Chain A
Amino acid sequence: MLASFSALDTPGAGAVSRRDFVRLCTMAAAAVGLGPLAAERFLEAAERGLKPSVIWLQFQECTGCTESLLRPTHPGVADLILDLISLDYHETLFAAAGHQAEAARKQAMQAHAGKYVCIVEGAIPTKENGIYCMIGGRTAIDILQDVAGKAGAVIAIGSCASWGGIPSADPNPTGAVGAHEILKGQAVVNIPGCPANPYNLLGTVLQYATYGTLPALDAQGRPKFAYGSTIHEHCPRRAHFDAGRFAEKFGDEGHRLGYCLYKLGCKGPVTHANCSVQHFGEVVDAWPIGIGHPCFGCTEQAVAFRVPLFTTVDIERPTPPDTYPPIHATQGGVSPIATGVAGAIVGALVGGGYVASKKLSAGPADDEVAQKKPEV
């Protein structure tokens, strides 16, 4: 294991206590829905040193997903992840570079063929045969197909790897796509987000590391434990939405009071993610809505970088509000035009009939009248 970055190997620097480790394993197990016994299994597996090999590929990305993984320190998620797995290739975290790094990758691929986890960060350009991202003389497409082809599991971390992310925003000059578009026919776990929530990766990797299985996925290959609900469904500001209390402008009274940000263009109702329950880092409310900015739908291909930030969205499954209808709600109505028309007709009938009848009374003898009247 060349150049692996393990905090446990360097005591004192970001050392993780066993208690923290146990706590986080329990948390992660719960998040994935695996139950309390799973935490024990995680521990056992880690202590036995059964760590799956991971090859982390980076393509058209900002490295934000890796960075977000490194941010938390209490406990250090990076440390934990890196203790649970054997990171055999990571361009950002490696001390090595160039041919040395490539050699390490090739060796890991050979040694753990069919078993290693391929994590993909970043989109893959497809225009002009993919020349817009080349590493070591090879296109991203080529590298991905090679590495993923021999992997035991493929995880696409971040929106870029899941569906193209920022590089794929219109006009998408490089033809950026997600990993699953390159790896057609192969199961890919997508963990979208910009960045992805590191705990989602943690849960997925933990499960694979312990049980060798992947979590239940939705139609877009996203783990249901994290992407099964929309932000709107679990938003802490939902009560304000239901009560009709909205911030109308940034900095106004409603905004200061923490009201719902729907009218400012929050994409929560159409965004599947767990940011509202699993905040970023370990700081409470460290997520967009928590700090007062509407969600922009970073996990959703149809929303992020497509729908303007402050455009409001439809509610997919509207639910009852905090208000109630009265016992007798006013319904139906009277059209003024119809009233006018009806009045005119009735008036014409009455008036016309009266006038005509007058002519009948006042007229001369019947046959003369008959001769004068036009034929009907």
Chain B
Amino acid sequence: MTPHATPVGGRLWTPSVQLLSGILGISLIVMLWRFVFGLGATTALNDGYPLGLWIAFDVVTGTALACGGYGVAILVYVLNKGRYHPMVRPALLTSALGYTLAAIGVNLDLGRWYLVWKVPLYFWHWNFNSALLEVALCIMAYMVVLWIELSPAFFEKFQDSPIGSLRRVSRAALPILEKASLWIIALGLLLPTMHQSSLGTLMLLAGARLHPLWNTPILPLLFLISCVSMGYAMVVFESAFSSIAFKRTPEIKMLAGLAGAMVPILYVFAVLRFADLAWRGRLGLLFAGDGRSVLAALEFVLFLAPTVMLATRARRHDLGNLVRAAMVMMFAGALYRFDTYLVAFTPGAHWSYFPSVQEILITLGLVSVELMAYILIVKTFPILAGHPAAAERQAV
């Protein structure tokens, strides 16, 4: 819809894509190993720690990082800040890919993955008390919504396709999508609100087995707030590196604006978390000196550091600094989720878990395929707006 969005073009089989394909190839072999020999042979999961890297990172952190589409949509469509419009499509693409990879990650983690089709279809068996069901259905639905929201980018390209049927479908679809866009976007705002908070509710079922530093009824709220900040951080990160990688002028003004929007969110998170700990008399645990308290304290540091890094206008307009702040923000959110799902879960000191090499390799593979898909799609379809560097200079 952005008049300026165009395919980046250029060679597809670049060295970077080759490298990513290599990583993906190794990962596919490990995935096959996982399906043939089972989880016990390829993961370090056990009955004390039934959820591991794939859930904590690929699904929970991955979907939060993929909340760029959500965050930007709030800015553009709810808060009506139209100047961020060019960020919508790339953010949607990152989100669509992120959620799709999270869905693949879930299927890798499910022990009886061959029955996963029953989850959306067997509605008469749905257990509405299960936060996980809500997360699963919501993520499935949101993934579909994201691709639908993104589809105009594909149809715009296909409407000039030499293949007749493709051309006709595209030309017919575009106006329908245009008309329905508002309601689709609204759905794309509702669904993440529901499941990103439910990802927090999920761990509350562990009850007393969730460490008091993370165990709070406002866990859903904290998850929701941090996912918005992570989404924005991802957008900044992705936008900055895209512009460098594809030789386009970095959209410093927009990114600085986004950065400005992130800061209050981070403050809200930190204040809420601190106040919650104080309210429930758990502040002392923060200074207990054990591993968990160190990590919880680190969360605070990482959440607040970007507020300092982005405090002044000058800092917000320094691309490198923006990227560093975005990285810190993503780390903060990721750490918070890892902590909630793995560190805070206390089955007892006699259990231990650390991801196996195969789990790490599969995660790397999923990340690689996401990066590769991003590059290939951005080069082929009109996703990125903005200008190639040589054509126009933008005042920074």
Contacts and interface: CB of A to CB of B under 8 A. Distances in A.
Q: Do A and B come from one complex?
A: yes
B292 to A, nearest CB: 16
Given A341-B360, A342-B360, A360-B323, A367 B350 contact: no
Contact of A333 (B324, B352, B355): B352
Interface in B336-352: 348-352
Contacts of A367: 249, 389-390, 393
B354 A339 contact: yes
Interface string B236-276: 00001101111111101000000000000000000000000
Contacts, number: 106
User: Which of A328, A338, A358, A362 has the most C-beta atoms of chain B within 10 angstroms of its own C-beta?
Assistant: A338
Interface string A350-365: 1001101111111100
B288 interface: no
B165 interface: no
Interface in B46-66: 46-49
Contacts of B14: 375-376
A371 B351 CA distance: 53
A103 B138 CA distance: 97
B246 A375 contact: yes
A369 interface: yes
B172 interface: no
A123 to B, nearest CB: 48
Place the interface of chain B in its size category. Answer: 35 or more
Interface string B362-392: 0010000000000100000000000001100
Contact of A338 (B320, B356, B390): B356
Interface string B302-343: 000000000000000011110110010001000000000000
A364 to B, nearest CB: 12
A373 interface: yes
A334 B321 contact: no
A332 B353 contact: yes
B391 to A, nearest CB: 10
Given A367-B390, A371-B389, A375-B247, A333 B44 contact: yes
A345 interface: yes
Contact of A331 (B15, B324, B351): B351
B396 interface: yes
Given A338-B356, A366-B249, A366-B396, A328 B348 contact: yes
B360 A361 contact: no
Contact of A360 (B244, B246, B356, B375): B244
B375 A376 contact: yes
B291 interface: no
A350 B351 CA distance: 29
B382 to A, nearest CB: 18
Interface in A227-284: none
Contacts of B10: 375
B27 to A, nearest CB: 13
Contact of A335 (B44, B323, B364): B44
A376 B19 CA distance: 11
A291 interface: no
A363 B97 CA distance: 31
B11 interface: yes
B41 interface: no
Given A328-B348, A334-B354, A359-B320, A370 B244 contact: yes
A329 interface: yes
B357 interface: yes
Contact of A332 (B46, B247, B319, B321): B46
A335 B353 CA distance: 9
A47 to B, nearest CB: 69
A333 to B, nearest CB: 6
Contacts of A350: 327, 331
Contacts of B357: 335, 337-338, 341
A10 interface: no
A330 interface: yes
A280 to B, nearest CB: 49
Contacts of B356: 335, 338
A345 B249 contact: no
B238 to A, nearest CB: 12
Contacts of A366: 243, 249-250, 252, 319, 389, 396
Contacts of B390: 367, 371
B389 A376 contact: no
Contact of B360 (A334, A345, A354, A376): A345
A332 B44 contact: yes
A360 B396 CA distance: 14
Nearest to B391: A367
Interface of B: 10-11, 14-16, 44, 46-49, 240-241, 243-250, 252, 318-321, 323-324, 327, 331, 348-357, 359-360, 364, 375, 389-390, 393, 396
Given A353-B323, A362-B320, A375-B247, 9 more contacts: A331-B351, A342-B354, A359-B320, A360-B244, A360-B323, A366-B389, A367-B249, A370-B248, A375-B10
22 contacts: A328-B348, A332-B48, A332-B351, A333-B352, A335-B354, A337-B357, A338-B354, A341-B357, A353-B327, A354-B324, A356-B323, A357-B321, A359-B320, A360-B244, A362-B320, A366-B319, A366-B389, A370-B243, A370-B244, A375-B247, A376-B245, A376-B375
The 9 lowest CB-CB distance pairs between A and B, nearest first, are A361-B320, A376-B245, A367-B389, A360-B320, A370-B389, A334-B354, A357-B323, A328-B350, A370-B247
